[in-house]
Amino acid sequence: MTASASFTGIGASPGVSVGHAFVLDGRKVRYPKVKLRPEEVEPEILRLKTAIDLSDRQLQELKGKLAHDEVGADHALILEAHRMMLHDPMLLVETQRLVKNDAINAEWALRRVAKRLRHQFDNLDDEYFRERRSDVDFVADRVVRNLLGQAVDEEVQLPSDAVVVAHDISPADAAMLVKTGRVAAFVTDLGGQTSHTAIVARARETPAVLGCGRVSEQVRTGDLLAVDGTRGLVLVNPTDSQLALFRETMRRHLASEASALKTAELEARTLDGASLALWGNMEFPEEVPSLLAHGAQGIGLYRTEFLFLNRPDAPTEEEHYQSYKQVLTAMGNRPVTIRTLDLGGDKVPGKKQEREVNPAMGLRAIRYCLQHREMFRVQLRALLRASVHGNLRVMFPLISGLSELREARSELEHCRSELGRAGLPVGKRFPIGVMVETPSAAWIADRLAQEADFFSIGTNDLIQYSLAIDRQNRDVAYLYRPLHLAVLRALESIVTAAKGARIPVSMCGEMAGDPTFTLVLVALGFDSLSMTAGQLAPVKRIIRETNQADAKALLTEAMTFSTAEEIERFIRAEMEKRFGGD
């Protein structure tokens, strides 16, 4: 048994669990290096092809096994992406070329190609796409295991309440493990918020602490582990008093989850009758069941650039369509707000880009789409086709002026007529909205409101650009203040513009899901707020215990202060008085 110890990592899926460690074999796959004689080259290429075919069949088989699983469709997409990687010319052709030209064995060649592919992902600034490096490894490791005749996809017998500990977990393993219903938590050395284990864990509401460094080397199967996926903390063989504290946190977490689920059906209406719709933010279709269970009345933000998961190339129209159809169908007639691709700048997967000096202010989001029309049209056609399946709303990110909105709209209309001419079914017209997340859009919100069907405020970017602080830069994170007077004034004027034009206004940035700001947002008069599943209940509780008139008076007073610190202090003190500091 390991002595008591603790590890901190990234709290990638919230919740608290206690269970016994089950350490997955984390030994790295070894890639032997052999120089070939000329007559060995052709048989080696055949050996490579056979291993790739076998890997392909295994992934297909796994997909089949997951097909009836509740969230299997999404895992199937991930496995399909791995299959595509297997057939990527870069992998296959390049590996063959190296075997031939350099007379080296398939494992060695594959290792060199994988390294190059990984390097392409390394060069991307965005954490999400950087995480895709591990997908290259999962695929290459599978092929090498097959080349070496090692066991792949072994069924493991998990004890119940197992805390799965591993160096890293492939999507295939993660999906198979959760399917057993015996996983209490995940703990890994690698990974982060956007790795597959995090996605699978969140969808299954299983606590996960990822990126813990060398936890898998230090924990033994059978060790008692206490995992706090909210704070990113893992205790190994905790003392009795630590365990008691942990169990208390766990009890509180379960109680608050239970009450959250109980309030799922309740309306978010203030004591004096102002009603707000609470919606969910999502990146993957697999998050829909959890959002619905937590009471999301719609989807306020679907970040579609996450469709580029695991792949160096762009998704096809059919792939876009299938994802949108899945979400729209699952949501029934509830509104589903799909944001067009927020790619570009540092987020262009698979392509070696000239690095922009200042990517946040560069060619991203709607600017990127308008310069890459064919890629944009692929998405627009899929959206138009999918619109027959539910209550679709589409919004454009990072609009900085009216011309962009007009151009994007006209592109959509062009696609609509094109589909019409091709005789493909397209739904009725759906609302087209603007994400207000640049200061220029905030300044001209009254004009934008004349031509947009709704607004959704992206505060993550609006704050970044308004206060001139890079949201990725830790050194200036202290300046990231949602209650800065400049932000409050911007929000006020955007909401006023929307009301003036009688269009609905929502907020989908992080600010919407933080209960500290709920009174302010109720006062401003938002029609809807969009957030992650776990944030819905706490925000709803505040709304239900608030008078909008009181919140308005509070905001008026808050805006008499001049610094963000003063406003925050004031709001926190008032929250404390009303809700005991929640």
CA angle 199, 64, 153 (to 5 degrees): 70
Range in contact with Mg ion (rule: CB under 5 A) among 14-22, 439-447, 450-458, 474-482:
450-458
Binding-site string for ligand PEP from residue 455 to residue 474, where x marks contact by CB under 6 A and - marks none? ---xxxx-------------
Footprint (CB under 6 A) of ligand PEP, residues 421-440: 437
Q: How far is the CB of 12 from ligand PEP (least distance, A)?
A: 17
The smaller minimum CB distance to Mg ion, of residues 172 and 282, is found at 282
CA angle (288, 289, 290) in 5-degree steps: 90
Instruction: Indicate if 167 belongs to the active site.
Output: no
Check if 369 is active-site. no
Give the position of tokens 């984390």.
Answer: 26
Question: Could you give the angle at the alpha carbon of 231 between the alpha carbons of 226 and 232, nearest 5°?
Answer: 65
Query: Does residue 461 bind Mg ion (CB under 5 A)?
Result: yes
Tell me the C-alpha to C-alpha distance, in Å, between residue 462 and each of 87, 222, 405, 459.
Answer: 41, 48, 17, 5
Q: Which residues 6+ apart lie within 8 Å of 192 measured at CB?
A: 10, 12, 127, 131, 198, 210, 211
Least distance from ligand PEP to the Cβ atom of residue 110, Å? 35
Judged by beta carbon distances under 5 to 8 A according to partner kind, the member of ligand PEP, Mg ion, none in contact with residue 509 is: ligand PEP
User: How many whole angstroms separate alpha carbon 127 and alpha carbon 133?
Assistant: 10
Farthest-apart Cα atoms in the chain, separation:
85
Residues 507-536 touching ligand PEP, rule: CB under 6 A, are 508-509
Helix extents (H) in 222-340: 240-262, 288-293, 317-330
Region from 192-200, 235-243, 286-294, 431-439 binding Mg ion, contact rule CB under 5 A = 431-439
**Closest CB to ligand PEP among residues 310, 459:** 459
444 touches 493 (CB < 8 A): no
Distance CA 239, CA 254 (A): 22
> Which of 238, 509 has the CB closer to ligand PEP?
509
Residues 229-248 that bind ligand PEP (CB under 6 A): none
CA dihedral 570, 571, 573, 575 (to 10 degrees): 160
Name residue 5's beta-bridge partners. Answer: 236
Q: How many CB atoms lie within 10 A of CB 166?
A: 24
Going residue by residue from 296 to 335, which x/- string records binding to ligand PEP, judged by CB under 6 A? -----x-x--------------------------------
Q: State the binding partner of 459 from Mg ion, ligand PEP, none, CB within 5 to 8 A by kind.
A: ligand PEP
Instruction: Tell the smallest beta-carbon distance from residue 363 to ligand PEP (Å).
Output: 15
User: In the complex, what is the shortest distance from the CB of residue 268 to Mg ion, in angstroms, rounded to a whole number?
Assistant: 24
The reply on whether position 286 binds Mg ion by CB under 5 A is no
458 binds Mg ion (CB under 5 A): yes
Q: Does 342 bind ligand PEP (CB under 6 A)?
A: yes
508 binds, among ligand PEP, Mg ion, none (CB under 5 to 8 A by kind): ligand PEP
Give least dist CB 471 to ligand PEP, A. Answer: 8
Q: How far apart are CA 381 and CA 389, in angstroms?
A: 14
Residue closer to Mg ion, measured from CB, 458 or 538: 458
Binding-site string for ligand PEP from residue 134 to residue 173, where x marks contact by CB under 6 A and - marks none: ----------------------------------------
CA dist., res. 263 & res. 286, Å (int):
22
Q: Nearest distance from residue 176's CB to Mg ion, in Å? A: 35
CB 507, min distance to ligand PEP, A: 8
How are beta strands 10-13 and 208-210 bridged, if at all? Answer: antiparallel
Residues from 553 through 582 that contact ligand PEP (CB under 6 A):
none
Measure Cα distances from 322 to 383, 388, 410 in Å: 10, 12, 24
CB of 432 to ligand PEP, least distance (A): 17
R_g of the chain, CA atoms, integer Å = 25
Active-site choice (196, 253, 294, 320): 196
* 399 near ligand PEP (CB under 6 A): no
Q: Name the minimum Å distance from CB 508 to ligand PEP.
A: 5
Q: How many residues belong to the site for ligand PEP (CB under 6 A)?
A: 10
Verify binding: residue 305, Mg ion, rule CB under 5 A.
Answer: no
- Examine residue 283 and tell whether it contacts ligand PEP (CB under 6 A): no
Question: What backbone torsions phi and psi does residue 517 show, to the nearest 5 degrees?
Answer: -100, 0
**Phi, psi angle pair for 55, to nearest 5°:** -60, -40
Report strand pairing: 299-303 vs 275-282. parallel
The C-alpha angle with vertex 246 and arms to 240 and 248, in degrees rounded to 5, equals 105
Q: CA nearest 477: which of 491, 489, 463? A: 463
* Category of 574 on φ-ψ map: left (φ > 0), alpha (ψ -120 to 50) or beta: alpha
Instruction: State phi, psi for 231 to the nearest 5 degrees.
Output: -95, -10
What residue 303 binds from Mg ion, ligand PEP, none (CB within 5 to 8 A, per partner kind)? ligand PEP
Which active-site residues does the annotation give?
A: 196, 508
Interacting residue ranges for ligand PEP, rule: CB under 6 A: 301, 303, 342, 437, 458-461, 508-509
Interacting residue ranges for Mg ion, rule: CB under 5 A: 437, 458, 461
